[in-house]
Amino acid sequence: MYGRDRGLWNQSPLGTGELIRLGHNVKLIPPAYVKPYVKRGKSDAVDAAAICEAVTRPTMRFVEVKTPEQQAILAVHRTRDLIVRQRTQTINMLRAQLAEFGIILPQGVYHPLQFAKDCANGELHELPNDAREIVVDLCDQILFLHTKILRLARQMTQIAKREKRVALLRTIPGIGPITASAIVATVGSGEQFDNGREFAAWLGLTPINRSSGGKERLGHISKMGDQYIRRLLVLGMTSRIRTIRSEPERFDPWFADILSRKPSRVAAVAMANKTAHMIWAVLTRNEPYKVRSV
């Protein structure tokens, strides 16, 4: 840490509040950006020297310090994401157990949930007693986790209603309260990015550049950024594809064109990339999204 005018810290944003209150200018550096400046070995002195070297680079990128309110919103998102994964694991276990007795549940979340509700109401297939107890326990766990997911989703909706920037992002087609609140809690105003492409690259939605010898070679998307927000954006665009295909005249011609030329999965990623540019523009201009006239 360099004095009171330049505070350097490489720990979690949770510990920066006290430093800011003491008058320090806190800067957070991603560990991956500091690693190239580590000379040899691993010690506090070597790490401190690497941080001091990295922070002086004119092109160094820093992590925006999050407010306690942003951290609280992220806590809700991380908890919901964990419970969704736990529900998926439990559903997969239920499918496997039932398949051993010739009971096949169709794909998707709806059918296992309906089976669990039927099981809770006493409607259960003929199974051995030991297996019946296991299935009942799994069904109870699925319903318990699903109830928690619904409660957290309602909490996110309430957060979206009271946060102005979340409301602005929701004016963008395909952006719901969950995605909007996650973006606002993670990137804030978005002013740390110079343009929309930088924000899309930070999310890992831009192609990897492997150009050499004057030849441009672009590969798959990098997937180097925030995995959670990237997944939410791609899922949001995937849900829009069916509507765009059924009523292409209601949407930007660019979307219909990309769907006619590319597979659905590739088109969804391309649409997420374009939407990331819109998100950056809405955040930095602090104004709602305006649909272009066709």
Dihedral angle of Cα 171, 173, 174, 178, to the nearest 10 degrees? 0
Which pLDDT does position 15 carry in this prediction? Answer: 64
Q: Which of 15, 105, 13, 108 is nearest to 65 (CA)?
A: 13
Which pLDDT does position 280 carry in this prediction? Answer: 93
Task: Name the residue ranges covered by the structural domains of the chain.
Answer: 7-55, 68-162, 185-285
Which pLDDT does position 239 carry in this prediction? Answer: 86
Which pLDDT does position 218 carry in this prediction? Answer: 64
Residue ranges of the chain whose pLDDT lies below 70: 1-15, 211, 216-219, 249, 292-294
Asked if 97 contacts 183 with a C-beta cutoff of 8 angstroms, the reply is: no
Q: What is the mean pLDDT of the chain?
A: 84
Which pLDDT does position 143 carry in this prediction? Answer: 96
Which pLDDT does position 3 carry in this prediction? Answer: 33
Which pLDDT does position 16 carry in this prediction? Answer: 73
Which pLDDT does position 110 carry in this prediction? Answer: 92
The tokens describing 16, both together, are: 């920066």
What residues contact residue 228 under an 8 Å CB cut-off, 6+ apart?
77, 81, 182
Which pLDDT does position 10 carry in this prediction? Answer: 39
